[in-house]
């Protein structure tokens, strides 16, 4: 039975990857283009006016932030959109009659979300690095925060997809929670440039630690210790993944 469930989880994972890859122009190419436009606009306007680190130009500083932002947003979008579409169209019933465990669901949905997020992130890096190569000072941090960040957002997308009953609710979750936390996490600026009050507020945002730790891998410098960022992001992953698994185990809003 365990072998059957493992094969089922693998099949569901493949189906989820194929789902976004079939429309790669929309799910991969479009986010890459959006990130490039951000770089062209902000980099052109602020390159000579914003100083972040002594040896790092603003455009180079901006690239890791845009890469991580793209990874986070697309990881969330993949699991959340897939689940809400299955609920609304009614084809989720075909998964409910399978012997798949809640762990299999989690691994398949979150795993596919991580694949999409990392694919988009790699595309953004390849396109934007042509303008200002950011360097690879400590690549280990890049890998760690990419995996943790995409895992957190894939799990959070799973929670949002389970909770939402229509696209409007999912859009509200993304517009009023995901987008503000992403844009206020230091993607376009260093938090040290903010007044003391807003620096303190930024330090309450877990997205800040994902991006700051990820940026550390490129430049070898960051606003806070990468070990602090790793601790906070790891705890966030455990909490969010735990909630997603528990909701799946209960069949929250998917079982009668």
**Unique residue bearing structure tokens 């609710």:** 169
Could you state, in order of their start, the residue ranges of all structural domains in the chain? Answer: 2-250
pLDDT by residue, tens only, the chain of 256 residues: 466 567 888 999 999 999 999 999 999 999 999 999 999 888 877 776 666 777 778 888 899 999 999 999 999 999 999 999 999 888 888 888 888 899 999 999 999 999 999 999 999 999 988 888 878 899 999 999 999 999 999 999 999 999 999 999 999 999 999 988 988 888 888 887 788 888 888 889 999 999 999 999 999 988 899 999 999 999 999 999 999 999 999 999 887 5
Listing DSSP states for 96-128 in one string gives HTS---HHHHHHHHHHHHHHHHHHHHHHHHHHH
**Token pair in block for residue 163:** 């909770």
pLDDT in tens, 88-108: 888 888 888 888 899 999 999
Q: In the chain, pLDDT over 90 holds for what percent of residues?
A: 63
The H-or-E segment that residue 59 falls in is: helix 58-89
Report if pTM > 0.85.
yes
Give the span between the Cα atoms of 170 and 132, in whole angstroms: 36
Asked whether the beta carbons of 110 and 147 are under 8 A apart, the reply is: no
217-256 exposure pattern, b = at least 16 Cβ within 10 A, e = fewer: bbbbbbbbebeebbebbeebbeebbebbbebbeeeeebee
> 4-29 b/e with 16+ CB inside 10 Å = b?
eeeebbeebbeebbebbeeeeeebbe
DSSP state of 28: I
Spatial contact of 154 and 244, defined as CB atoms under 8 Å apart: no
Distance of CA 1 to the CA centre of its chain: 33
Could you give the CA distance from residue 207 to residue 184 in angstroms, rounded to a whole number?
8
DSSP per-residue string spanning 151-179: HHHHHHHHHHHHH-SSHHHHHHHIIIIIH
Query: What value does the CA radius of gyration of the chain take, rounded to a whole number of Å?
Result: 19
Model pLDDT for residues 158-188, shown as the tens digit of each residue: 999 999 999 999 999 999 999 889 888 888 8
């Amino acid at each position: 039975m365990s072998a059957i469930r493992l094969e089922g989880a693998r099949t569901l994972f493949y189906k989820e990857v194929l789902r976004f890859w079939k429309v790669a122009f929309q799910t991969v190419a479009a986010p890459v283009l959006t990130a490039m436009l951000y770089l062209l606009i902000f980099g052109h306007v602020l390159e000579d006016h914003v100083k972040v680190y002594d040896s790092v130009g603003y455009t180079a500083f901006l690239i890791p932030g845009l890469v991580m932002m793209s990874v986070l947003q697309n990881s969330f979008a993949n699991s959340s959109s897939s689940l809400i579409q299955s609920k609304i169209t009614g084809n989720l019933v075909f998964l409910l009659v399978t012997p798949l465990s809640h762990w299999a669901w989690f691994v398949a949905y979150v795993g596919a979300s991580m694949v999409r997020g990392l694919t988009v992130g790699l595309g953004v890096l390849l396109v934007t690095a042509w303008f200002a190569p950011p360097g690879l000072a400590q690549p280990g941090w890049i890998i760690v925060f990419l995996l943790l960040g995409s895992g957190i957002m894939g799990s959070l997308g799973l929670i949002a997809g389970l909770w939402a009953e229509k696209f409007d609710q999912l859009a509200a979750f993304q517009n009023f929670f995901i987008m503000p936390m992403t844009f206020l996490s230091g993607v376009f600026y260093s938090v040290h440039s903010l007044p003391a009050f807003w620096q303190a507020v930024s330090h309450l945002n877990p997205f800040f630690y994902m991006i700051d730790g990820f940026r550390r891998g490129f430049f070898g410098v960051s606003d806070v210790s990468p070990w602090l960022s790793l601790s906070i992001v790891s705890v966030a992953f455990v909490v969010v993944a735990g909630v997603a698994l528990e909701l799946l185990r209960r069949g929250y809003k998917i079982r009668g």
